[in-house]
Amino acid sequence: MTRKMALLAGLLGCVTPTMLYAQETAQPAQTQRPSAQQVPSDADIDTEVEGIVVTGQRQYGSVIGDIQPETTFSAADVRSLGVSSVTELLSELAAQTTSASGAAPVTLLNGRRISGMGEIRDIPTEAIQRVEVLPEEVALKYGYSADQKVVNVVLRQRFRARTGEISLAAPTDGGQTTEQFDSSTLRLNRQGRLNTAFKYAHSDKLLESDRDITSRSASSDYVGDVTPFRTLRPRTDSLSFNTVYNRVLENGISATVNGSLSYDQSQSLSGLARAQFDVPAASPFSLSGDEEAVYRYLTDLGAMEQWNRSWNAHGGFTLDGSMKSWRWNLTGNYDHDESRTSTDRAPRVDELQDRLDDLDPTFDPRAGLPTGDFLKDRASSTSDTLNTQLVMNGALKRLPAGDISSTVKLGAEGAWVDSWSRRNTATGATESSVDLSRGTANAQVSFDVPITSRKNNFLAQAGDLSANLNLSVNQLSDFGTLTSIGYGLNWSPIKPVSFIVSMNNQENAPSMSQLGGAQVTTPDVQVFDYVRGESVQIVRLSGGNPDLKAEEKKVLRVGVTLKPPVVEGLSINANYTHSRTDNPISSFPSATAATEAAFPDRFFREDPTVDDPIGRLIRIDARPVNFAKRESDQIRWGLNFNRQIGKTPPRPTPTPEEMQRWRDRQGQGEGRGEGRRGQDGQAAGGQQAQGQTPQGQATQGQQTQTAEGAQPPGMELLQGAMRQGGEQRGGGDNAQPPSDGPRPGGDQGGPGGGFGGPGGPGGFGGRGPGGGFGGPPPGFGAARLQLGLFHTVRLRDRIYITDGGTPLDLLDGDALGNSGGSPRHEVEAQAGLTKNGMGMRLTANWRSATEVTGGTTGSTTGTLKFSDLTTVNLRLFANLGARRELVAKYPVLRGTRVTFGVTNLFDEKQQVRNAAGGTPITYQEDYLDPLGRSVKLSVRKVFF
């Protein structure tokens, strides 16, 4: 397929949902209603009860199959995290959602696949009803591989709000300051949703001189302080716009279109240009009368800069529906990326050296240098990616224990990369270009077979037992055919306990860039040479390696989840994982003696001398490589606890003023709407249809007649509906009353909040019904406590560079990268407490120390000790809208949340020491963590 055809196909794919929507039967116009409605207060949202769960029925938005979530976060649990969007939520729950293999999770929306994170990343957390974290085996039911956990985000069925957030962050040691502005709009009901978001962020550059850093020139022949001319963090600017439109068509198909644009630029400083002059002995500028070398920084030119500018355009669509007993999902994505890079290089000084060689008396190499401007290295890259996937899931055959279900996935992808670069060298400029492409066709099928079942009373004494099998094949145009197979068992002997055993054998191909990326030579790269025990600046060669082979990975996982009924809100899970990878693909490892012995043609040193028998390291070929084998074993266990602390106080009797406000709203035509309707079109939970009283009489525009102090008509029914509606309507028996003000809704109306609950938004265009009155006094609401603890223990982590060779033990003295070996222990802890809109969240991470003995056998020259590291983060937030007495005095605070956060509370940084107790220049603390402790203040406002 040519690129033009691919772009056309991507365009057609993105507009398909719009074409389908155009065929939808027009809905009858709704009667206009007055727009003076009431806004749900933060107190309502912060104190609402959860929805009623009917035993024996699947919850709205549940995933396919019977595998139970490891952890479920209710709407109140999500709010207690103090995060603003789905993106921040997933980041906050990384400890709970990271798989045993360390992979990021698959994300679903309402139990359904999405085309990408762009569909949900900007949804505000107020619109979330619950979040489920499920084990890796659930991913198979959606056509993914079984090495990722699944996060299912379930939204409220009605919600409407606009949000804006401004934040300012800076390290306490000064330097870089970051400003960010986010704005989003969400309109959500049962007919679909519309979500738009705009983001802008700016960060100042952070210089080496802003930190306590020893200049890199201290280890070179050049004299001077270059720290004011080098950045630890670049200056950055980013701008993005994202929009999502979803509509449920008349035939039940859900169609979603997602489009986004983003632009990023960065500016970094790479120091001062340098020049070396060889002064002849006969030159009048030779101070000793012998040949001399003069090393100069070209300070008159200022710092060398690197600019990078990139932009991305994305389009995606999702179609989701059912066909008889099968559920199907079709997704498509198109991405276009462009980047441009400009890098300053030192000007050539050949003509100046010629003047010295000619004994020119007018050129003093130690005086001002008449050099020209910087030379410019330039690079550009353009990439296009187009993919589509069809996934179908359904029942094949009925067995005594249940249905045999199957998931089938068919997919295709095309990727194209064009890159060009122009580099200046000592002999002139060189240009290079690379044009890469890859086409992929893939297919996957999985089967779930129930063996015993409590629900179906088949061998119920054994509990619930099922088996699964999955097969996949991938055909790559530039590499060949790859296959994968997996199988496993799921067993729940009793309800609080479940076990999972799985085995997966998967082949993975190198990426296009790993195979055919352009070879790039980068000078002045700082590395640590373990053989000599010193930090050096080298020339680094990077790019593709066409000789790479596919890796084959085998993973055995045994997991258990326990939810003890005696402790409500507690879940415990543990996983043992054994992994073996043949021909693992890796970036080039650190410069240890073992690595140099295995890849002698990748290291280049100066010629050895009597005084220096090893020779200084000057160049490394760092293109990716295949190792022979990697083996690892680990145990990861954790617990999560979410619980309401204390009881919710009873609701007080409405005051006469609240009664009067309710009657006034009724007289203006408020408080009525379509409500929550069942499949038969009747209002759910006892709520009446639009324009009808509980007795069925039309009331549109009619003044409600109620005596002073009497209960308004239909109050009992509305109170009952409110109690039954719970979470879905955003209110409940213990919900606070909304405050006065306009309520957004829609032409089709939303559900009323009942007495004390907020009114829900309706369709996309008009207004929904108003809420009622009543509510708790100031200070209302029980506290919520969330605790989490996760511990990873690595039992083995070894790499065999060559077949039959001595392995590298990453837990005992060896390393792949430049940040030490693999820590044997890692601990992640979380604690959160919220009450009445006030919240605190504390997270801590600890990893154990490592040691790398990268020198020759018996030598301590190349030994580095990496200390253990503990980082603690604190976030305090105040949902001011939940403080009714404060909002009554300052109405502008309605929907406002103020957050203050501290990252790395105790300013802890990893310490690296060599055998003599010193710190190599490369491993100075401020190089490893330039920011250190930083603080962030943000103000967020929600307009309901």
pLDDT for 334-375, tens place per residue? 999 999 999 998 888 888 899 999 999 999 988 888 777 888
| Residue at 465 is within a domain | yes
Asked if residue 341 lies in contact with residue 306, where contact means CB atoms within 8 angstroms, the answer is yes
**How do residues 143-192 score in pLDDT, each as one tens digit?**
998 889 999 999 999 999 999 999 999 999 999 999 999 999 999 999 99
With a CB cutoff of 8 Å and minimum separation 6, the contacts of 117 are: 87, 107
Same domain, 534 and 496: no
Interatomic CA distance for residues 841 and 81, integer angstroms? 7
Examine the fold and report which residue of 477, 512, 547 is the final residue of a domain before the chain moves on: 512
Same domain, 461 and 606: no
State residue 47 phi and psi, 5-degree precision. -120, 10
Q: What is the DSSP string of 23-81?
A: TSPPPPPPPP------BPPHHHHHHPPPPPPPTTSPPTTPPSSSPPPSEEEEHHHHHHT
Same domain, 499 and 583: no
Interatomic CA distance for residues 256 and 17, integer angstroms? 7
| Residue at 195 is within a domain | no
**How do residues 786-830 score in pLDDT, each as one tens digit?**
999 999 999 999 999 988 888 999 999 999 888 899 999 999 999
For the cut 50, the answer to whether the pLDDT of residue 40 exceeds it is: no
Interatomic CA distance for residues 170 and 796, integer angstroms? 40
Q: Give the domain range for residue 461.
A: 382-422+431-512
Number of H helices, E strands in the chain: 13, 40
Same domain, 505 and 532: no
Same domain, 592 and 505: no
Domain tally for the chain?
Answer: 2
**How do residues 59-88 score in pLDDT, each as one tens digit?**
889 999 888 898 999 998 998 899 999 999
Same domain, 482 and 530: no
How does residue 278 score in pLDDT terms, banded at 50, 70 and 90? very high
Q: What is the DSSP string of 366-379?
A: TS-----PPEEEEE
Highest mean pLDDT among 5-14, 764-773, 845-854: 845-854
Asked if residue 536 lies in contact with residue 604, where contact means CB atoms within 8 angstroms, the answer is no
Same domain, 535 and 457: no
How does residue 57 score in pLDDT terms, banded at 50, 70 and 90? low
Same domain, 405 and 450: yes
Asked if residue 184 lies in contact with residue 120, where contact means CB atoms within 8 angstroms, the answer is no
Mean pLDDT of the chain: 82
| Residue at 505 is within a domain | yes
For the cut 70, the answer to whether the pLDDT of residue 97 exceeds it is: yes
CA distances from 381 to 336, 417, 517 (A): 11, 7, 11
| Residue at 317 is within a domain | no
Same domain, 474 and 586: no
Of 360, 376, 510, 518, nearest to 433 by C-alpha is 518
| Residue at 600 is within a domain | yes
| Residue at 260 is within a domain | no
Q: In the prediction, which pLDDT does 937 show?
A: 98
Q: In the prediction, which pLDDT does 728 show?
A: 37
Same domain, 828 and 902: yes
Same domain, 387 and 477: yes
* This model's pTM is above 0.85: no
Residue 349 amino acid letter: V
| Residue at 95 is within a domain | no
State both tokens at 814: 């060896």
Average pLDDT value for residue range 458-478: 95
| Residue at 847 is within a domain | yes
**How do residues 212-252 score in pLDDT, each as one tens digit?**
998 766 556 777 888 999 999 999 999 999 999 999 998 88
Same domain, 444 and 394: yes
